[in-house]
Amino acid sequence: MQPQDFSQTPPAMRAMTRTVSKEGEPNGATTSAEEIKVEEMEERGQWQNKMEFVLSVAGEIIGLGNVWRFPYLCYKNGGGAFLIPYLIFLFTCGIPLFFLETALGQYTSQGGVTAWRKICPIFEGIGYASQVIEGYLNVYYIIILSWALFYLFSSFTSVLPWATCNNPWNSDLCVDILNRSSLDNRTLPANATSSMIEFWEKRVLGLTDGIHKLGTVRWELALCLLLAWTICYFCIWKGVKSTGKVVYFTATFPYVMLLILLVRGVMLPGAAEGIIFYLKPDISRLADPQVWLDAGTQILFSYAICQGCLTALGSYNKYTNNCYRDCITLCFLNSATSFVAGFAIFSVLGFMAREQGVPISEVAESGPGLAFIAYPTAVTMMPVSQLWSCLFFLMLIFLGLDSQFVCVESMVTAIIDMFPGVFRKKGRRELLILAIAVICYLLGLLLVTEGGMYIFQLFDYYAASGTCLLFLAVFEVICVGWVYGRLPVFPDQVHTLEIQQFLRVPTLGLRRRLADGTLFHGLYSSLCHLHPSENQRTPETATEAADFPGGGPAAAEEAARGGAVGAEARGMVSSGPGGDHHRERNPLLRHLGCFLHNPD
């Protein structure tokens, strides 16, 4: 099968109207039926300027994972030494694949499915697979926004509700975060829990004791989820015309919040200890293959590779746009944001550890455990805690909102480009987005039930896992590097020496090594998860398997210390793009496995 060549006629420049010459008619005459049919179809649209594209991509790739995953991985995998495998994967895998997907969209002016159809029809399944992942993300990623909105609204009180044990949902075993006293001021029992944990599990989630008990819908979370979908809908309902304007605020506001939190964090006592803990290098950790796996998976997630988003956003560029320069800039901006966010997070965690008199390792968390347990606990110890709580959750909301509506936009673009005659008409796009929003909202209601957290974890671990993305990355490289034979070449750019050198890299055999390396990385990652080594099967992990959200000795012990109880010991792991998919400790999934294999 010979790949199609589109170098002669740029697809982005094809006219929306076509002329048909007929015998006896002047050349260029058109039939009235064709005129009517073409006039009904709306133009595909383009970014009005480069900044709209840059901010849209920045809003997609710079998300929650930059704040709650990268800093945690950095300290866990050797501090500053983790930057070595991270940078290696960035230059050998992240930037090339990022440029490949963006250039593919700009080259074909098509969405995530039809772009691969034009490059090589036999690999069209890559596009469908990426849209399946997008569908899963659209259902469960926005749940995080509903949690953040709930916390934001709860912050507008004289006393933060998770700071004390004087609330209706608190139990007799509650431990006050501020003064570490129980409700009745008695000696702390062994199974005491902190007020932060009780707020999260009882007030926010209403957590049940297993996936077999979903319970009822938490109406407050359902309303927050509805609000999140409403905001998302109006951000993209007019296509790039509306999205390009919204991102001017949504993509820049989180940086303002991050800067404020960074300045506040480094001024706290104990901040220096937290930052040292974050960056202190441990070169010996580089001998652990898990460190390299974490680095590679973090690159794929944080750069939104294999999700179809980059192809969709790039398809709205002008054909002559220098996307090479844009991609390099965005990649470095993304990694720099992750690095700086670590200072903002670990300065606060250092302060928190000092206030509680515990090691930083006991309060350092990843994923929702950091966002909804550890950091909210830390802000209660600051003056004017309500202000810092509002700023933090506003930052989370805008970080997640960008990623969410770009995911929806990616799916909408793919569907419209697959069926332009149906959806590229006046009012059809708005109806399509509304249909997607309604369907995803109704499916998302399962995740805001009292047992919805268990379903959320299943989505998080399997729906958009690192293995899925690695698998797709292999086929992307095979398709473009081996089948198509070259990366897209832009006529107006090939005269630039830097572009020529970059585009010639795949022809030197690197594309095959990249494909082989990505495949090996994916297979090894899968084997590590399916067959944990014997040294990981310890009595400690056996004990943790019995400790799922709701209580247990490990959770009680951590709560008795007054800390933000270890999120991983309660099944609180990360989510979505940038989520922690390499879990050494995931008792929630172990509990689910025990339930599935042993109904009793």
Is 334 marked as binding a ligand? yes
Is 21 marked as binding a ligand? no
Alpha-carbon gap, residue 225 to 232, rounded angstroms: 11
What amino acid occupies position 53? Answer: F
3-state helix, strand, coil in the chain (%, to 5): 65, 0, 35
Q: How far are the Cα atoms of 308, 367, 575 from residue 470, in angstroms, in the given order?
A: 14, 21, 17
CA angle, 375 as apex, 175 and 150 as ends, to 5°?
A: 85
In 3D space, the residue among 476, 105, 144, 140 whose CA is nearest the CA of residue 300 turns out to be 476
Is 66 marked as binding a ligand? yes
Bridge partners (DSSP) of residue 217 are 449
Which bin fits 22, alpha (ψ -120 to 50), beta or left (φ > 0)? beta
Residue 271 CB neighbour total at 10 angstroms: 21
Is 403 marked as binding a ligand? yes
Q: What would the 3-class secondary structure string for 105-172 be? A: HHHHCCCCCHHHHHHCHHHCHHHHHHHHHHHHHHHHCHHHHHHHHHHHHHCCCCCCCCCCCCCCCCCC
Query: Are residues 138 and 145 in contact, defined by beta-carbon separation less than 8 angstroms?
Result: no
Which bin fits 357, alpha (ψ -120 to 50), beta or left (φ > 0)? left
Q: What would the 3-class secondary structure string for 27-45 be? A: CCCCCHHHHHHHHHECCCC
Query: Are residues 571 and 591 in contact, defined by beta-carbon separation less than 8 angstroms?
Result: yes
What amino acid occupies position 16? Answer: M
Alpha-carbon gap, residue 386 to 388, rounded angstroms: 6
Alpha-carbon gap, residue 248 to 220, rounded angstroms: 30
Residue 3 CB neighbour total at 10 angstroms: 17
Bridge partners (DSSP) of residue 194 are 175
In 3D space, the residue among 102, 113, 194 whose CA is nearest the CA of residue 565 turns out to be 194
Residue 507 CB neighbour total at 10 angstroms: 12
CB-based contacts of 494-499 (< 8 A; 24+ apart in sequence):
498/324, 499/324
Name the maximum alpha-carbon separation found in the chain: 100
**CA dihedral sign of residues 287, 575, 242, 237:** positive
| DSSP element (H, E) containing 175 | strand 174-175
Alpha-carbon gap, residue 428 to 230, rounded angstroms: 18
Q: What are phi and psi of 174, to 5 degrees?
A: -70, 140
Is 195 marked as binding a ligand? no
Which bin fits 108, alpha (ψ -120 to 50), beta or left (φ > 0)? alpha
Give the residue ranges of the annotated binding site for Na(+): 59, 66, 302, 334, 399, 402-403
Give the residue ranges of the annotated binding site: 59, 66, 302, 334, 399, 402-403
